[in-house]
Amino acid sequence: MANVHISTDDLDAMEKRFRALFVNSLAGFKSANLVGTQDAEGNTNLAIVSSVVHLGADPALMAMIARPNTTRRDTLDNIRATGSYTFNHISPAMVKQAHQTSARYPKHVSEFDAVDLQWEHSEAVTAPYVVGSPLAIGMQLEEIQHLAINGTELVIGRIIEIRMQEDAIGTDGFVDIEALGSITVSSLDSYHSTRSLGRLSYAKPDREPEYL
C-alpha cells in the first residue's frame, strides 16, 4: 500500500512551510479547540489550538502544547497570570472565525472582537467562554512543564466545569461529540466533520469486540 518511504534526509531537505504542513499532517486527526483567556485587567484573548489532549480522568486533567513565539504567547501569558482558561469545541458554523483567530493581531486587540465571536462568563471560571460552542470546559492551571527538546511548553490543567447539552451525555458517561457538532482538524488548516463508525465493546482476550 505504501509506495513511498520518506527518510530523515527527505525531511531535512523540505522547504520550511512545506515541512510544517507535512509533519503536522502525520499524527492523525486532532482535537479543535478555541482557548479563551483574559489578562489581569480583563482583556479577553482567543486562540485556536489543535494540541489539547486528555491526560487523566481522576483527577480530570487535560494537557495542551504551546509554542512560544507564536500568537499563542498571549494565551500562555494570560494562563500564567490568572491560572484560568477555557477550551471550547468548534462547530462547523464557527470554522472560519476559529481559523481567523490564528492571525497575528496586535496585543491590544481581542480576537473575540476581531473575528466576531461573543464571550460569556460563568461563576466558576474567570476566563471567558465562547458563546455557541458545542462543548466548553473551564480549566484551572496546575503546572507548566518546559520541554527543552524544542522549547515548547506542556500546559497541564484540571477540569473544573463542563458546559454542554445534557442530552449528549449517554447513560454510560459517553458524550456524543459528533452529535454536538464538534469538528476535527488535520495538518495546519484542514477542517473535518465526522461520521460514526460505531462504538465497540470493552475488549477482552477471549472474545471479539461487538458494536454497541
- Of the candidate spans 39-47, 75-83, 87-95, the one that interacts with a copy of itself by CB under 8 A turns out to be 87-95
Residue 108 interacting with a copy of itself (CB under 8 A): no
Closest CA to 51 of 37, 70, 71, 34: 34
Distance, in Å, from the CA atom of 198 to the CA atom of 209, rounded to the nearest integer, reads 12
| Identified binder of a copy of itself from the candidate list 77, 102, 121, 141, rule CB under 8 A | 102
Residues of span 17-46 touching a copy of itself by CB under 8 A? 17-33
Distance, in Å, from the CA atom of 86 to the CA atom of 79, rounded to the nearest integer, reads 10
Nearer of residues 60 and 81 to a copy of itself, judged by Cβ: 60
| Identified binder of a copy of itself from the candidate list 45, 46, 105, 126, rule CB under 8 A | 105
Closest CA to 144 of 65, 47, 82: 65
Nearer of residues 40 and 189 to a copy of itself, judged by Cβ: 189
Phi, psi (rounded to 5 degrees) for 3: -120, 10
| Identified binder of a copy of itself from the candidate list 43, 82, 110, 122, rule CB under 8 A | 122
Residue 81 interacting with a copy of itself (CB under 8 A): no
Nearer of residues 26 and 41 to a copy of itself, judged by Cβ: 26
Residue 126 interacting with a copy of itself (CB under 8 A): no
Identity at 80, one-letter amino acid code: R
Distance, in Å, from the CA atom of 161 to the CA atom of 158, rounded to the nearest integer, reads 9
- Of the candidate spans 34-42, 73-81, 105-113, the one that interacts with a copy of itself by CB under 8 A turns out to be 105-113
| Identified binder of a copy of itself from the candidate list 47, 66, 76, 137, rule CB under 8 A | 137
Question: What stretch of H or E contains 56?
Answer: strand 53-57
Residues of span 144-203 touching a copy of itself by CB under 8 A? 145, 147, 149-150, 152, 154, 156, 159-166, 169-170, 172-175, 177-178, 182-184, 186-187, 189-203
Residue 75 interacting with a copy of itself (CB under 8 A): no
33: Cβ contacts below 8 Å, ≥ 6 apart:
48, 49, 50, 52, 87, 88, 89, 90
Are 45 and 70 in contact, with CB atoms under 8 Å apart? no
For 185: left if phi > 0, alpha if psi spans -120 to 50, otherwise beta; the answer is beta
Nearer of residues 40 and 107 to a copy of itself, judged by Cβ: 107
